[in-house]
Amino acid sequence: MTLAAPRLSLRCYAIALGFLAGAARGDGGVGESFLSEGSIALDLRYRYETVDEEGFDEAAKASLLRTRLSLSSGRVGGVSAHFEIDDIRSMGVEDYNSTENGKIQYPTIADPEGTEVNEAWFRYSNDDLDATLGRQRILLDGGRFVGVKPWRQNEQTYDAARLQWNAASDLVIDASYVTQINRVFGPVDGSNPADWYGDSAFLRMSYELEGGHTLAGFAYLLDVQGQSDFSAAKTVNNSSNTFGIAYSGEFSGVEVLARLATQENAGDSELVYRAPYYLVEMAAPLGSLRLNVAYEVLAADNGVGFATPLANGHKHQGWADKFLSTPGDGIKDAWVSLDGKLGPLALTARYHDFSAESSRGSLGTEIDLQAQWVINEWFTATAKAAVFDTDAPDRYPDTTKAWLVLQLHL
């Protein structure tokens, strides 16, 4: 069994040990209340994944089980605690490049085996405030800029202090100070760092207008320190300052989401750039279906694209994950999706048309398909596929991916 290196900060260890000690004490005091009012959850997620990518002689195949154990306390005096551990294990075939196992003859499936503390935090809550200290999930703007990458078996979490404050009935302030980012490539270093270190700050303020319209402003200041075993491209060059605004609302049954942002180099980054981002997305019912259409641009400047290294990347720009790193000439993504039901199955079909932002050349198209069956409150089965057809084979090869996912939550 591969265990994570001792990268947890002292405060995270204190949180975990304090929670467990209090729960175990059972002396009629705070510890017993934490235990008697708390809960235990077990989540098992099995996934079989194949990747057939042009340029490789063999397709990648991975059969992996993620086991997640979660312990949540009750709330005493407004204080609660949570501890969660993940274990990722191969279940048979393991013909894939995990980024850590050295099997570079196969395409990448970024799910290394290992065991790691996923969350360990204390939280103080009242009617208007949540203050969380420790290892935790942080999800902002639907995961477009700051997320947890839930599609990967090893989630991305943050060692952070976070404040979520309902400052007024229509104003919400969300602020985080982050010292460590626990990445999907962990729990130990491979071809990518398992963790990023630095002094990052995330701030988002949202204001709800009449009629359900919402305006938001955000500043995401990402600071990544250098590491002697890794190049600047994998560490400090990811440092950036991103500032933007967002709108969400509805007009005559049509839901609208719009974002505008700008990003520039920061910290010890060796890059020099200032690149814009914008998105317009609309959704509406279409008979028994739901139709989404969107146009998203991550521009480039000085050969550097607007970067989203903390995003829920699989959710955006196609499930084939060809553009997790924005190309140096930027990217434009025009996409449409349909969602519907067929008996017990929830179905999704999506089409993407990708092109470069500055050179305007076509990069390719992609079709994504998914069928999901929620069998009961505990068990879900999902089958999905992504087919990327390139128009720039020297940069982005043809790729076909397929998945079968079985998830049990107790």
Mean pLDDT of 280-298: 98
What is the model's pTM?
Answer: 0.92
Give buried/exposed letters for 336-346 (b at 16+ CB in 10 A, else e).
ebebeeeeeee
The pLDDT of residue 352:
99
Summarize pLDDT for 176-234 with one digit per residue, the tens: 999 999 999 999 999 999 999 999 999 999 999 998 899 999 999 999 999 999 999 99
Give the Cβ contact number of residue 36 at 10 Å. 11
Q: Is the model's pLDDT at 60 over the cut of 90?
A: yes
Is residue 51 scored above 50 in pLDDT? yes
- What is the tens place of the pLDDT at every residue in 219-276? 999 999 999 999 999 999 999 999 999 999 999 999 999 999 999 999 999 999 999 9
Q: Which letter does DSSP use for residue 76 in this model? A: B
What is the full DSSP assignment across 129-188?
A: EEEEEEEE---BGGGTSB---TTSSS--EEEEEEEEEEEETTEEEEEEEEEEEE-TT-SS
Contact indicator for 115, 89 with CB cutoff of 8 Å: no
Provide the number of structural domains found in the chain.
1
Would residue 103 count as lying in a domain?
Answer: no
Tell me: pLDDT of 71 over 70.
yes
- Domain membership of residue 303 (yes or no) is yes
Q: Average pLDDT in the 63-88 region? A: 96
What does the mean pLDDT of the chain come to? 93
Residue 307 lies in a domain: yes
DSSP codes, 327-386:
-TT-EEEEEEEEEEEETTEEEEEEEEEEE-SSS--EEEEEEEEEEEEE-SSSEEEEEEEE
Helix (H, G, I), strand (E, B) or coil at 108: strand
The reply to whether 344 falls in a domain is no
Q: Which pLDDT belongs to residue 72? A: 96
What single-letter amino acid sits at 109? Answer: I
Domain presence at residue 240: yes
77 located within any domain: no
Question: Could you tell me whether strands 331-342 and 289-298 are parallel, antiparallel, or unpaired per DSSP bridges?
Answer: antiparallel
Domain, as residue range, for 204: 126-316
Amino acid 9: pLDDT: 52
- Checking if the pLDDT of 5 tops 90, the result is no
How many angstroms separate the CA atoms of 120 and 16, rounded? 6
Cis peptide preceding 187, ω within 30 of 0? yes
Query: 270-275 long-range CB contacts below 8 Å, 24 or more apart?
Result: 270/232, 270/236, 270/237, 271/237, 271/302, 271/304, 272/302, 272/304, 273/300, 273/301, 273/302, 273/303, 273/304, 274/301, 275/299, 275/300, 275/301, 275/304, 275/305, 275/306, 275/330
Place of tokens 């809960």: 39
- Tens digits of residue pLDDT in 323-333: 999 999 999 99
| N- to C-terminal Cα separation, the chain | 24
Average pLDDT over residues 376-396: 98
Mean pLDDT of the 17-35 span: 56
Q: What is the pLDDT of residue 4?
A: 44
- In the predicted structure, residue 27 carries a pLDDT above the cut 60: no
The answer as to whether 233 is a domain residue is: yes
Q: Sorting pLDDT into bands at 50, 70 and 90, what band is 128?
A: very high
Is residue 277 predicted with pLDDT exceeding 80?
yes
Tell me, yes or no, whether 271 lies in a domain.
yes
Neighbours of 236 (CB within 10 A): 23
Over residues 13-21, mean pLDDT: 51
pLDDT tens per residue across span 296-327: 999 999 999 999 999 999 999 999 999 999 99
pLDDT for 1 equals: 43
Residue 6: predicted pLDDT: 39
